[in-house]
């Protein structure tokens, strides 16, 4: 092992992997929450929606479009003031979270919105005919019926998000990205870059695998 | 039970207003099965969706079970809608829920406790004949079974009215019959009022008591199914009546005679055409002790006379009628006494 990868500090690699997983997990949870809320707002306030409201829709939609359009690396820089305000510092894994979450939530929100649009209009109508309130329709119909789409969307989002944690690493977030850049690329240790890449790939494959299994498990269509 | 007065519905579309219903009046009585028939685009779905206010009338009043629904707010409507069950052409089940969970859905909406829900679901599963399928998902069911789930779900909160929007249009003829039978049974055993819309006269004939013909957004003819079948007035009604095969119309005519003459006997004579059976018929028709009415005559000439069937109504004293029947039987005519 040490002969094959002479420059790899395995303890450091482990710490970096932990940091990457931490960033992925925490930002994943927040992205999920914000994405579902934003997706619901987009779906519900759109024309013909249960809470049709042109102004709310226009504002939310613009917000989502703008943040999806900004390249992540620029988003990090733009969000420095906000990050310092929330986290208190610009360096470290936690400092990367706000920009990762704000970068991924709009993307996931659109996927949630698409999933909600796939819910059969007839089923919503049937629920209304049974006297369901709008809140009951959201909880008992829209979310459960679009769950497979939401889960597939979350899998895609998580994978994109890992890419972003690596990128955030370049500006000092820590994790496998920082390791690959500082100890690998800058110090010209290709073996370090290589191992970090492999670990990231493994994490991606595991997420995809688990995501597919859960999506299949809940999909009774 | 249901009263629509001067109801009008206009849809605003990007291509301009679409008049779906024009000044429609309708009354459905307590406990009856009321059919609405019309071609595609006549406004049938619009009409039935107005009854539970899934669609708000542009003008007019909608009254169900003594409540003026058209005057209620969205929140009050949620409560009143529990009085009105609805089933759909495409079933509209939640695919993410099992049969039992689908049926429990309206009970959850009403806030019933888990124990009570379980008990009620079991009752309903038995009612619609889905024993053993409680934990299946809709995707594992046939169309007929899915509609049974739809019916159980619609009945869960003991509604006073059941609305059926083309409930059998996605089903094959045999399954259609079984679903119609179920609806008919439910109507009888629970006394629930049913409004059913369809484009098939067969369905109307099979279970409805009264029918309205809807054409271009208004009712052009209305009456008991019997009357509509036997003397349709409008051209469109005649077209619909024409959909139903001749034997069925005959059947209705026979049943009509039957109910008008509860004491008379209806017999069907079968002539095989091998020998001349005219004298036997003559003797029967000229028998002074009984009165014979010809309901259906489907005879064709044969070499020795004729073959085919006659359906007759025989009135008279029970014994005389019986002896006349025995007499013609002895003259090698096959006689079938139709059950009354
Ligand atoms: N939501 C809507 N927006 C605009 N127009 C509509 C809408 N729903 C129905 N219409 C129009 O109203 C008319 C009646 O439609 P409706 O669906 O009630 O007909 P139908 O008798 O149920 O037809 P089908 O047998 O095809 O279901 C049609 O001209 C239809 O295009
Ligand atoms: Mg229709």
Best mutation site among B22, B46, B90 for ligand 1 pocket (most ligand atoms within 8 Å of CB): B46
| Of residues A136, A144, A147, nearest to B109 (C-beta) | A136
Q: How many residue pairs bridge chain A and chain B with CB atoms within 8 Å of each other?
A: 70
Contact between B96 and A147 using a beta-carbon 8 Å cutoff: yes
Q: How far is CA A165 from CA A68, A99, A130, in A?
A: 16, 10, 46
Q: Please give the Cα distance from A34 to A36 (Å, whole number).
A: 6
Q: How far is CA B132 from CA B96, B122, B141, B143, B183, in A?
A: 19, 10, 12, 17, 21
B181 touches chain A (CB under 8 A): no
User: How many Cα atoms sit within 13 Å of B234 on the Cβ side?
Assistant: 14
Q: Please give the Cα distance from A61 to B128 (Å, whole number).
A: 46
Quick check: B102 and B139 in contact, CB under 8 A? Answer: no
As given in the structure block, the two tokens for residue A200 are: 């990231």
3-state SS of chain B?
Answer: CEEEEEEEEEEEECCEEEEEEEEEEEEECCCCEEEEECCCCCCHHHHHHHHCCCCCCCEEEEEECCEEHHHCCHHHHHHHHHHEEEEECCCCCCCCCCHHHHHHHHHHHCCCCHHHHHHHHHHHHHHCCCCCCCCCCHHHCCHHHHHHHHHHHHHCCCCCEEEEECCCCCCCHHHHHHHHHHHHHHHHHHCCEEEEEECCHHHHHHHCCEEEEEECCEEEEEEEHHHHHHCCCCHHHHHHHHHCCHHHHHHHHHHHHHHHCCCCEEEEEEEECCCCCHHHHHHHHHCCCCEEEEEEEEEEEECCEEEEEEEEEEECCHHHHHHHHHHHHHCCCEEEECCC
Give the pLDDT confidence score for residue A59 in this predicted structure: 96
Q: Does the structure show a pLDDT above 70 at B245? A: no
| Of residues A131, A144, A218, nearest to B79 (C-beta) | A131
Q: Please give the Cα distance from B223 to B235 (Å, whole number).
A: 15
The answer to which of B32-41, B131-140, B166-175 has the lowest mean pLDDT is: B166-175
Mean pLDDT score, B56-75: 90
pLDDT digits (tens, 9 = 90+) for A32-50: 999 999 999 999 999 989 9
Best mutation site among B8, B9, B10, B11 for ligand 1 pocket (most ligand atoms within 8 Å of CB): B11
Quick check: B147 and B129 in contact, CB under 8 A? Answer: no
The bridge status of strand B193-198 relative to strand B210-215 is: unpaired
Chain B residues whose beta carbon lies within 8 Å of the beta carbon of residue A123: 92-94
Q: Does the structure show a pLDDT above 80 at B243? A: no
Q: Does the structure show a pLDDT above 90 at B33? A: yes
Residues of chain A with confidence (pLDDT) below 70: 1
Contact between B105 and A140 using a beta-carbon 8 Å cutoff: yes
Contact between A129 and B109 using a beta-carbon 8 Å cutoff: no
B328 touches chain A (CB under 8 A): no
Q: What ipTM does this complex have?
A: 0.87
User: Which atom, in ligand 1's list, is nearest to the CA of B9?
Assistant: 12
Q: How far is the CA of B61 from the centre of ligand 2 (A)?
A: 21
pLDDT digits (tens, 9 = 90+) for B4-29: 999 999 999 889 999 999 999 999 99
Chain A residue at shortest CA distance from B154: A130
Give the pLDDT confidence score for residue A205 in this predicted structure: 95
Burial class (CB in 10 A: 0-12, 13-18, 19+), A92: middle
Question: Phi-psi bin for A127: left (phi > 0), alpha (psi -120 to 50), beta?
Answer: alpha
Comparing C-alpha atoms, which of B28, B21, B27, B9 is closest to residue B70? B9
Minimal CA separation from A87 to chain B, in Å: 40
Beta-carbon neighbour count of residue A212 at 10 Å?
Answer: 13
Q: Which residue has the higher pLDDT, A66 or B339?
A: A66
Chain A residues whose beta carbon lies within 8 Å of the beta carbon of residue B81: 128-131
| Element (DSSP H or E) covering residue A210 | helix A190-218
CATH class of segment(s) A10-218: mainly alpha
Q: Please give the Cα distance from A24 to A31 (Å, whole number).
A: 10
Global pTM value? 0.81
Quick check: B225 and B208 in contact, CB under 8 A? Answer: yes
The bridge status of strand B84-88 relative to strand B161-165 is: parallel
Confidence bin at B340 (pLDDT 50/70/90): low
The answer to which of A52-56, B74-78, B221-225 has the lowest mean pLDDT is: B74-78
Chain B residues whose beta carbon lies within 8 Å of the beta carbon of residue A220: 95-96, 137-139
Quick check: A85 and A120 in contact, CB under 8 A? Answer: no
The answer to which of A172-181, B44-53, B221-230 has the lowest mean pLDDT is: A172-181
Helices A147-168 + A93-117 axis angle, to 10: 150
Question: Phi-psi bin for B217: left (phi > 0), alpha (psi -120 to 50), beta?
Answer: left
Comparing C-alpha atoms, which of A153, A137, A143 is closest to residue A37? A143
Q: Please give the Cα distance from A212 to A158 (Å, whole number).
A: 13
Asked whether B14 lines ligand 1 (CB < 6 A), one says: no
The answer to which of A41-50, B33-42, B308-317 has the lowest mean pLDDT is: B308-317
pLDDT digits (tens, 9 = 90+) for A113-140: 999 999 999 999 999 999 999 999 999 9
Residues 6 or more apart from B62 whose CB is under 8 A from it? Answer: B3, B4, B7, B50, B51, B53, B68, B69, B70
Q: Which residue has the higher pLDDT, B49 or A181?
A: B49
Mean pLDDT score, B169-191: 92
Burial class (CB in 10 A: 0-12, 13-18, 19+), B146: buried
As given in the structure block, the two tokens for residue B194 are: 């049913």
Q: Which residue has the higher pLDDT, B132 or A172?
A: B132
């Amino acid at each position: 092992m040490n002969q094959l990868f002479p420059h790899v500090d395995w303890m450091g690699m482990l710490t970096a992997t932990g940091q990457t997983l931490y960033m992925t997990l925490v930002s994943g949870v927040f992205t999920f929450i914000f994405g579902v809320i934003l997706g619901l707002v987009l779906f519900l306030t759109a024309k013909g929606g249960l809470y049709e409201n042109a102004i709310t829709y226009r504002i939310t939609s613009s917000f989502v479009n703008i943040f999806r359009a900004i390249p992540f690396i620029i988003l990090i820089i733009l969000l420095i003031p906000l990050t310092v305000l929330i986290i208190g510092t610009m360096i470290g894994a936690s400092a990367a979270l706000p920009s990762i979450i704000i970068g991924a939530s709009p993307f996931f929100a659109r996927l949630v919105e698409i999933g909600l649009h796939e819910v059969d209009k007839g089923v919503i109508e049937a629920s209304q005919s049974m006297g369901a309130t709008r809140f009951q329709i959201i909880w008992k119909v829209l979310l459960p019926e679009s769950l497979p789409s939401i889960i597939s969307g979350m899998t895609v989002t998580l994978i994109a998000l890992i890419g972003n944690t690596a990128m955030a690493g370049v500006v000092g977030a820590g994790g496998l990205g920082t390791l690959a850049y500082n100890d690998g690329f800058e110090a010209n240790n290709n073996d370090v870059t290589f191992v970090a890449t492999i670990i990231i790939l493994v994490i991606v494959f595991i997420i995809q695998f688990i995501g597919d299994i859960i999506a299949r498990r809940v999909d009774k269509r | 039970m249901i009263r629509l007065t001067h109801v009008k519905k206009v849809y605003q579309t990007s291509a301009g207003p679409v008049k779906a219903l024009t000044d429609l009046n309708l009354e459905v009585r307590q406990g009856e099965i009321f059919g609405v028939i019309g071609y595609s685009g006549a406004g049938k779905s619009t009409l039935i969706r107005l009854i539970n206010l899934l669609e708000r009338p542009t003008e007019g009043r909608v009254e169900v079970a003594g409540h003026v629904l058209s005057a209620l707010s969205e929140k009050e409507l949620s409560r009143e809608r529990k009085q009105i069950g609805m089933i759909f052409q495409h079933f509209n089940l939640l695919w993410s829920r099992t049969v039992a969970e689908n049926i429990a859905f309206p009970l959850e909406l009403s806030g019933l406790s888990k124990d009570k829900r379980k008990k009620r679901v079991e009752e309903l599963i038995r009612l619609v004949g889905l024993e053993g399928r409680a934990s299946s998902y809709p995707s594992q069911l046939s169309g007929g079974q899915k509609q049974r789930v739809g019916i159980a779900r619609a009945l869960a909160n003991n509604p006073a009215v059941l609305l059926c929007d083309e409930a059998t249009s996605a089903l094959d003829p045999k399954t259609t019959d079984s679903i119609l039978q179920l609806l008919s049974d439910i109507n009888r055993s629970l006394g629930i009022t049913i409004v059913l819309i369809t484009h098939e006269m067969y369905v109307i004939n099979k279970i409805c008591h009264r029918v309205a013909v809807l054409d271009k957004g208004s009712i052009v003819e209305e009456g008991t199914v019997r009357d509509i079948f036997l003397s349709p007035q409008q051209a469109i009604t005649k077209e619909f009546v024409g959909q139903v095969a001749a034997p069925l119309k005959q059947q209705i005519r026979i049943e009509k005679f039957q109910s008008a003459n509860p004491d008379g006997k209806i017999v069907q004579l079968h002539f095989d055409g091998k020998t001349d059976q005219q004298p036997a018929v003559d003797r029967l028709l000229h028998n002074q002790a009984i009165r014979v009415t010809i309901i259906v005559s489907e005879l064709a000439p044969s070499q020795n006379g004729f073959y085919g069937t006659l359906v007759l109504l025989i009135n008279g004293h029970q014994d005389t009628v019986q002896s006349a029947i025995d007499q013609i039987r002895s003259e090698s005519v096959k006689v079938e006494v139709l059950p009354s």
